[in-house]
A and B are shown apart, each in its own frame.
Chain A
């Protein structure tokens, strides 16, 4: 019963991303970076991006944290790599809407790629912070870049 519910949150894709995170590491010459911290649990994520001609050409992260925060950071990097700043901003908005329980269009959902499965977090409000940490961080970077 308990484990069944747990499986809804920790879907296979989530566990895979956490165990073998994509784009983990550091960029040689990032154009922007941010350090994020969740003070209640101590999770830390450092996000580095390479932005050229308003396109996210590369993105990597380091840090430590729970399964959800690591998987979510890994998914984020996959989802936004190669996107234009404006598109990435929209994707982030859609992601945040989806995991707070709102319905988004099929097309928007597809654009989220693996990250779409994190919508199950909507049922686990105590973990939303973990799932959104990296996304909020990128949003902050992009806002500064867009200025």
Chain B
């Protein structure tokens, strides 16, 4: 590992970075969609299957006990990562599933006229579950606007969060603008009205530490695969009292306490939510990803990513017809930057970049309401991670210039 202050060099941990795409060295800049996985994570999953595989919470034999211990150890690792306790960590499939579970469980708790407050910058998976909840209960959705620079407007939040508000939910970091919501202030506004807060942490977890206690977060949802862990594992954090107050959403093995022919009682949290055989290897892989992040250390991760974002801005700014959405200050962007090049369609540009080995996203990024709000049809999006380097964004800028010339000629 490179010990120079500003950047980290972890590229050797990611075998895929040495591969090619379209006969060009792969430049992977779609990390907001999913990050690549380091060898440490892949090996942890392999080691589990090779040495400890058994079903959890069932067998009386030693192997099953080992599997259970590893699975529960993973829960503890996740809990420590966000300063929660293990019983407050429920393993799900993804951010999407975590958000759906909360929304579903509030069907019995909301009524006509209640309000759910979100922002216009949400990912579809933090909009549609609330739309469904609103339709089923007669509650109303209210959207907080963004200010000129793309920041969630606290002035508007003060207007929208009222005595009618029961739930306030928002992405900690936007997957389109890459900007951080004023989380402390929003949570304070919500709690002042006795509303619960649901934080979509999908785009935050890989970029900076999160302390659910200090922020006083009620619910937090995130995905393993966006933080160097495997796909198919997600987390729903909830404050103990709130989780205890929630009914299970799925029923079956593992989650029950006692079953008769006609009735059943539930286990305590978190197990009452985990019906059936869980994604054991996924949980272990996620814990390995957390250990990996810890080993590098937040300070290094943050300074590497900031330096990279500065380099990204600097390079993109050399292209006259390129528009960056949201804040024009690199420090405001957490791993994500959306832009358009002249009036060229993002898909055409993305195909050109693809041919140069560059993977970036083009489209609406599962955020159609935000696209409407920004008055754009689609954007290009670069999203960076700890293994990206400034030479890569330099190449992106170079190819973008060539593509502009190609399509304009």
Closest to B364 in A: A42
Q: Please indicate the chain A residues that have their CB under 8 angstroms from the CB of B377 in the complex.
A: 42-43, 64
Q: Check A126 against B351 for contact (C-beta < 8 Å).
A: yes
Contact check: which of B22, B347, B355, B356 meets A41 at CB < 8 Å?
A: B347
Check B345 against A65 for contact (C-beta < 8 Å): yes
Q: Could you say which of A2-10, A25-33, A93-101 contacts chain B? A: A2-10
Separation in Å of the A130 CB from the closest CB of chain B? 6
Separation of A127 and B362 alpha carbons in the complex (Å)? 12
Complex CA distance for A136 and B14, rounded to whole angstroms: 41
- Min CB distance, A55 to chain B, in Å? 34
A5 near B348 with CB under 8 A, answer: no
Contact, CB under 8 Å: A42 / B368: yes
Nearest-Cβ distance from residue B295 to partner chain A, whole angstroms: 36
Interface 0/1 of B338-352, CB less than 8 Å to A: 000000011110011
A10 CA / B24 CA spacing, docked (Å): 20
Which of B22, B348, B368, B371 is most buried by chain A, counting CB atoms within 10 A of its CB?
A: B348
User: B407 to A2, Cβ gap below 8 A?
Assistant: no
The answer to whether A41 touches B406 (Cβ under 8 A) is no
Residues B96-131 near A (CB distance < 8 A): none
A128 to chain B, nearest CB (A): 12
Cβ-defined contact, B407 with A40, below 8 A: no
Cross-chain contact A2 with B351 (CB below 8 angstroms):
no
Query: Contacts A40-B363, A41-B363 given: A66-B347 contact, CB under 8 Å?
Result: yes
For A129-145 the 0/1 string (1 means CB < 8 A from B) is: 01000000000000000
Bound-state Cα–Cα, A9 to B362, Å: 18
Residue in B22, B351, B402 whose beta carbon sits within 8 Å of that of A3 in the complex: B402
**Contacts known (A42-B371, A66-B348, A67-B348); A2 close to B355, Cβ less than 8 A:** yes
Whether A67 and B356, one on each chain, are in contact in the complex, defined by CB atoms closer than 8 angstroms, is no
The residue of chain B having its C-beta at the shortest distance from the C-beta of A8 within the complex is B355
Give chain A residues whose Cβ lies under 8 Å from the Cβ of B348.
10, 66-68
The answer to whether A127 touches B352 (Cβ under 8 A) is no
Measured in the bound complex, the distance between the Cα atoms of B348 and A2 in whole Å is 13
Contact across chains for A2 and B363 when beta carbons are under 8 A apart: no
Chain B proximity mask over A1-19: 1 for CB below 8 Å, otherwise 0: 0110110011000010000
B402 and A2: CB pair below 8 A? yes
CB closest chain-A residue, reference B22: A5
**Measured CA separation A40–B365 after assembly (Å):** 7
Assembly CA distance A143 to B377 (angstroms): 30
Cα-based distance from A15 to B403 in the complex (angstroms):
14
Interface residues on B, range: 20 to 34
Bound-complex Cα distance A10 to B406 (A):
10
Q: How far is the CA of A15 from the CA of B348 in the complex (A)?
A: 11
Our pick among B354, B356, B363, B403 for the contact of A42 (Cβ within 8 Å) is: B363
Interfacial chain B residues near A66, Cβ < 8 Å: 345-348
A6 touches B345 (CB 8 A): no
Assess the A67–B407 pair: CB atoms within 8 A: yes
Known interface pairs A3-B402, A124-B351. Does A41 touch B407 (Cβ–Cβ under 8 Å)? Answer: no
From B345, B355, B399, contact of A5 by CB (8 A): B355
Report how far A119 CA is from B302 CA in the complex, Å: 46
Given contacts A2-B399, A3-B402, A6-B406, contact A41 B351 (CB under 8 A): no
Considering only CB atoms, which chain A residue lies closest to B357 in the complex? A2
Complexed CA–CA distance, A9 and B347 (Å): 13
Within 8 Å CB of A130, what residues of B? Answer: 347
Q: Which residues of A contact B402 (CB under 8 A)?
A: 2-3
A6:B351 contact, CB within 8 angstroms = yes
Within the complex, what minimum Cβ distance (angstroms) separates A125 from chain B?
11
User: Which B residues are CB-close (under 8 A) to A39?
Assistant: 364
Q: With contacts A2-B352, A6-B355 known, is A127 near B347, CB below 8 A?
A: yes
**In the complex, chain A residues whose CB is within 8 Å of the CB of B346:** 41, 66
From residue A20, how far is it (CB to closest CB) to chain B in Å? 15
Q: Given A3-B402, A66-B345, does the pair A42, B378 have CB atoms closer than 8 Å?
A: yes
Query: Contacts of A3 on B, CB cut-off 8 Å?
Result: 402, 406
CB distance from A68 to the nearest CB of B (A): 7
Check if A41 sits within 8 Å of B399, measured CB to CB. Answer: no
Contacting residues, chain B, for A9 (C-beta < 8 A): 351
16 chain-A/chain-B pairs, Cβ below 8 angstroms? A2-B24, A2-B356, A2-B399, A3-B406, A6-B351, A10-B348, A15-B407, A39-B364, A40-B364, A41-B347, A41-B362, A42-B378, A43-B347, A66-B348, A68-B348, A126-B354
Q: Which residues of A contact B (CB under 8 A)?
A: 2-3, 5-6, 9-10, 15, 39-43, 64-68, 124, 126-127, 130
The 7 closest A-B pairs by CB, nearest first: A66-B345, A66-B347, A41-B363, A42-B378, A42-B364, A2-B355, A2-B356
